[in-house]
Chain A
């Protein structure tokens, strides 16, 4: 199982190490650094590395590498999933998972790691359980602790560890009982040059924030559960009820958690909220090119599109951009060659437009790779798939909770391939098929 863990920052410093079995010298990380050098992008580092005596499995999160050392056979996903769980826990405890925050709370983090694994096998990974053993720091508590010398370590075994509901702590009490559910959907789509959808699907997630006293048993039902093509659940959701009735029946963890992830496949028609008219061209002669983009609303169900943003990774040869935007602002980063156009709210009466010239490097052949547009947007109060929560029932407790559901649609990996009116033969397709 998991032998050791090293946390490594962006510049390659090991700033935390934890060993669950005997100590392994940190020189084992050299193999990783070698692979890190080779892969230009940190995301490109192979997740599983083989060294003469160990195996290294790593993830990259929040500009940090979580590198685990393995000595014997284990499912790599097991380790990867666990490393993500470590990062999640740190995020849950301290609000973010960064080098600074871990260094500031190094003792707490170390104690957490101690509790999460025993002999390399996960022991307590539920945030609710961990929080009872090692209380998360709050400003008030740290002041009190300093004055009294008291601890933030719990002295009893969390009840969750023993019950059938390990994710919920016992004796939860609130004066205001509330349960909020955020239905958040992301559209992943690829539109081709002419604007037709090559590929579109929706990734949905239901984030819950439940603050209810006692042991409530909730049942969440949808108006149209058939929309959901593929689902995955928090362990609290009873599989059988879902299979037979298509309702989510669960005893919730206390606080924030992800109740369910779902997927609406491309078999269903996915509404595309915006359309893009664009063209980019580079001239064979002369160091320049032209760019023209217009964006308008398409299927928005009457809601306003907000936080519109367009990002284009320009070819390396593009030196600078001289453009005018009718709405919003644009920036062109000369080193990374990224053009960002921040539009804001989309006004259907006056469509935003960005046009102007691009200057390219002299003497370099004109770029042949068509850049693609990455679109970012947000639509409040709309789940683009049409999913609707119909009701939430609570059993097991007598009080009346306050219930709320919010919907939000975002662009996920939303790409529009650009129309490139270059002069060489881009379309060998016509002859081809």
Chain B
């Protein structure tokens, strides 16, 4: 077989360019399907005629499915190997309507590859796809659109446009996703369609499905990245969906949002130079700036907060994109949180990309604790070694320099000489940056001069030269030492450096310098050009300082230079001669020769070669190649004044019945999230379980509609809260500056039984209080009900029937049309309990049956947490004394004495907020009743021997006593 393989290799290489011969094709086919029935072999081995792929054509035209399939597999094998099989197009395209799915798929693959070349024939297949676009199966619709849009034939542009528009409105999110991809394909085929495509993009951007989000943003980036206005209304939605979008979509969305944020928010970076700038300015202006402290836009904060968890993603691209987002958008003191993740990337993926960001950050000395992660290993690739070295150099400071230098010493001995040289450069930089170690570094470098390796020595000389220039006064010893070594150094750059040093400081080494010049005069002709130039320089400088000893030597060297082959040297020689040797022509310049040649020269700045790499957005291709790639979108500078924030508010779609009533803005995000039932936000496992068990069908109908409606509700409640915050600013400024949501802790959520499946004839229901503000009406308590069908037949029309007491205000869930056996669904309700623990009774109905059920809330569930400062708390408490105060002395269970345990116990009983306390023995909690908004203040004073005073201040005295009872029970039991 090996001989055969060799023959095959020869034939393929020979035939590769002439359209792939039959022999090669058939053998390739065999190789690709070793387990095939072998029908092809009979055809192939001896068909040496000129008709190419004749056998494949025959197979495709036969009646047997298996033969066709076999042929198609071989053809796809040919495509994969990059061999031409376009002449088979007519035979292949006939099979496009085949019933056999696999055959059909392979034909699709072929079509996508060759349609561009065989446009006329490709048109034959279009009608098949048009038919498939109407197929009831979403998979077939999607793949038809995929293939149709991949056929790059300009004639079908109108058909594609129509198909895209239809698919964008498809019920299936998968088809809509495919349409987003098709937009990009059509755009690249015919950019004139841009306007129409933007309309489709605009529509798809509104899509609430996590499946579509990434793809449509991708389309946005390709087609109309400048239409930032399309993002406004979708900004908050995208931020909130982000964690549930698939990984690749996350990368694209984050990158787009980075760009967006830079145009919409003001800079969070407090500028240090601001003050000095204004100091020189008028007093008035100074006052103005002080009057306006920076407050981060809540939307800006939302983006930062929602991307942070993604740092824990396994996908390095996602982590990198979050890291760059923080770098470009976060306040400088928050950027640090990404270092840990970047260091992780570095370990998992040995590429230089995360390193370059770290490099930038290292200039700010951001992650010294991770210093050891940047130690170079002998196995690292060269470009990684140099970057690590750069970072270590940037991180060096007085405290760690000795550790770093010790590490550098081992690098100098590396067998990779280019790296060793770079290390020496780095030592030089450390020496100039940190004055404490300049001398030690210099000594070390001098020792390196006796190294056996030339590159090391040469690099040391060059670095020493630069170091000496910075402080030339004290180092004549080193110059002498270098003069001694001069004979052994052969690298031209190093020789030139030493000569330059000699010349520059010739007055410090008056005895040695002329001697070196003498030696040089002997070898002048054999030296490299850069060395010759320095010899001429040295000669000139010595002539000026010590002409007695060196006059002849200089003249000799100048004569040699005059006839040098290199015009540069001839030129220099002529110039120097005119400058230093006085004659009648030279004129006035001669007087200044000394001042020209021996002028004090500024010391060179030892700089990183990686400076100025921050022109581009981090993590982009442009950044890694340090030049602008096609399609790169500039990251704009922060606007001086933030554009209108209200553009991101979304219109109220769901009617809010009582918009003017007082309702705290808190939890708006969380309530949205939990209602949307997305994976990562599910707070209890029971939630996710019920939802994920539901079959595909019910998913499509119930969850999908649920998503979209609750999505818009969120936006409405959110925008409303936003407006409210603005109104409230005067009264409660602390609320505006701190929009962070007090997320309910993941404590055990108590679930109560609403309907047992025995009494419910298969329908069972459980409920719990999600402790979030009710979306439907602020005075309602949110309740989540999980309905499960445990019967063997599907239940229809589940809804809420009669309720009592008659005036009971309930917001019912939408009727559930159908619940399959074993499936379950979570729905949200709102119930106005009017601040009483009286049970809400209602009927839960299916098509056939009605069941009376009741929800009795624990008193603690009738509250909403309220945030206030300790001062406010005591002030409010002062107003609620006497009748409004209920208290009891209780004996605390020993397990509950820590403040954490107390908070946990209290929060498990009542939905209140913790008030931070300055005293250790005092614990305070504040809340408001949901319905009337009355304050409920709970305080607990710990006394000796586990006794404690529990006080509740509220005007709702009935609630107070009930709450006291519940709290007492919770705190006293172990």
Residues of B671-690 whose CB lies within 8 A of A = 677-683, 685-686, 688-689
Residue-by-residue, is A43-73 near B (CB-CB < 8 Å gives 1, otherwise 0)? 1101110100001000000000000001111
- List 19 A-B residue pairs with CB atoms under 8 Å apart, sorted by A's residue number: A15-B81, A41-B381, A75-B321, A76-B619, A77-B316, A119-B181, A152-B102, A153-B102, A157-B138, A157-B142, A161-B211, A165-B692, A170-B696, A190-B375, A230-B344, A244-B745, A251-B692, A261-B314, A370-B413
> What's the tally of chain B residues with a CB closer than 8 Å to chain A?
134
Check A215–B443 contact: CB distance below 8 A: no
**Which A residues are in CB contact (< 8 Å) with B347?**
188, 203, 263
Interface stretch (choices B466-474, B625-633, B881-889, B961-969): B625-633
The answer to whether A33 has its CB under 8 Å from any CB of chain B is: no
- Within 7-34 of A, Cβ neighbours of B (below 8 Å) are at 14-19, 21-23, 26
Chain B residues with CB under 8 Å of A119's CB are: 149-150, 181-182, 184-185
Across the interface, name the chain B residue whose C-beta is closest to A25.
Answer: B82
Interface status of B414 (Cβ within 8 A of chain A)? yes
- State in angstroms the CA–CA spacing of A109 and B109 once bound together: 12
Binding site for B on A (CB under 8 A): 1, 14-19, 21-23, 26, 41, 43-44, 46-48, 50, 55, 70-78, 80-82, 103-107, 109-111, 114, 118-119, 121-123, 125, 142-143, 146, 149-153, 155-157, 159, 161-166, 170, 188, 190, 198-199, 203, 214-215, 217, 219, 229-235, 238-245, 249, 251, 258, 261, 263, 266-267, 313, 315, 365, 368-370, 372, 395-396, 413, 415, 417, 425-426, 428-429, 431-433
> Given A72-B630, A77-B317, A77-B351, A266–B372 Cβ distance below 8 Å?
yes
Top 8 nearest A-B pairs (CB, nearest first) are A151-B102, A149-B66, A72-B631, A157-B139, A396-B689, A239-B309, A122-B248, A78-B317
- A48, B624: Cβ atoms under 8 Å? yes
Query: Once the chains bind, are B629 and A73 in contact (CB under 8 Å)?
Result: yes
Closest A residue, CB atoms, query B625: A50
Chain A residues whose CB sits within 8 angstroms of the CB of B627 once the complex forms: 50
A-B contact count (CB 8 A): 302
Contact A235 B341, beta carbon cutoff 8 Å: no
- B734 partner residues in chain A, CB cutoff 8 A: none
Q: Which residues of A contact B620 (CB under 8 A)?
A: 73-76
A241 touches B317 (CB 8 A): no
- Choose the segment among B26-34, B497-505, B808-816 that binds chain A (4+ C-beta atoms closer than 8 Å): B26-34
Q: Is the CB of A413 within 8 A of B379?
A: yes
Contacts of B317 in A (CB 8 A): 75, 77-78, 80-82
**A54–B321 CA distance with the chains assembled, in angstroms:** 23
- Contact: B211 with A44, CB < 8 Å? no
* Chain A residues with CB below 8 A from B244, complex form: 164
Is B631 touching A73 in the complex (CB atoms < 8 A)? yes
> Within B78-124, which residues are at the interface with A (CB < 8 Å)?
79-82, 100-103, 105-106, 109, 113, 116
Q: Judge whether A395 and B685 touch: CB under 8 Å.
A: yes
A243 and B309 within 8 A (CB): yes
Contact of A47 among B37, B352, B443, B619 (CB under 8 A): B352
A433 adjacent to B81 (CB under 8 Å): no
Quick one: closest A residue to B28, CB to CB?
A106
Query: B113 near A23 (CB under 8 angstroms)?
Result: yes
CB neighbours (8 Å) of A107 from chain B are 32-33, 73, 76-77, 80, 106
* A47 to B340 Cα, complex, angstroms: 23
A75 / chain B contacts, CB cutoff of 8 Å:
251, 255, 317, 320-321, 619-621
Q: How far is the CA of A249 from the CA of B184 in the complex (A)?
A: 37
Instruction: Return the contact of B344 from the options A103, A198, A232 (Cβ within 8 A).
Output: A232
> Which residues from chain A contact B341 at a C-beta distance below 8 Å?
230, 232
| B309 CB → nearest A CB, Å | 4
- Rounded to whole angstroms, the CA-CA distance of A266 and B443 in the bound complex is 32
Interface positions, chain B 483-499, Cβ under 8 Å from A, are none
CB distance from B683 to the nearest CB of A (A): 7
Contact of B630 among A73, A150, A234, A241 (CB under 8 A): A73
Determine the distance from Cα of A53 to Cα of B249 in the docked complex, in whole angstroms: 26
Do B688 and A251 touch across chains, with their CB atoms under 8 A apart?
yes
Q: Name the B residues within 8 Å of A110 (CB-CB).
A: 76-77, 79-80, 109
Instruction: Kindly provide the distance from the CB of A118 to the nearest chain B CB, expressed in whole angstroms.
Output: 5
Report yes or no: B413 in contact with A369, Cβ–Cβ below 8 A.
yes
Q: Using known A-B contacts A153-B101, A395-B689, determine if residue A240 contacts B621 with beta carbons closer than 8 Å.
A: no
List chain A residues, Cβ under 8 A from B150. Answer: 119
B81 touches which of A16, A78, A143 (Cβ 8 Å): A16
Q: B711 contacts the other chain (Cβ, under 8 Å)?
A: no
Select which of A77, A238, A244, A368 is within 8 A of B619 by beta carbon. Answer: A77
Q: Nearest residue in A to B172 (C-beta to C-beta)? A: A162
**Given A47-B352, A161-B174, 17 new contacts (CB under 8 A):** A1-B218, A43-B350, A73-B633, A106-B77, A107-B73, A110-B79, A118-B146, A122-B246, A125-B248, A162-B696, A214-B693, A232-B312, A235-B247, A244-B745, A244-B746, A263-B344, A413-B379
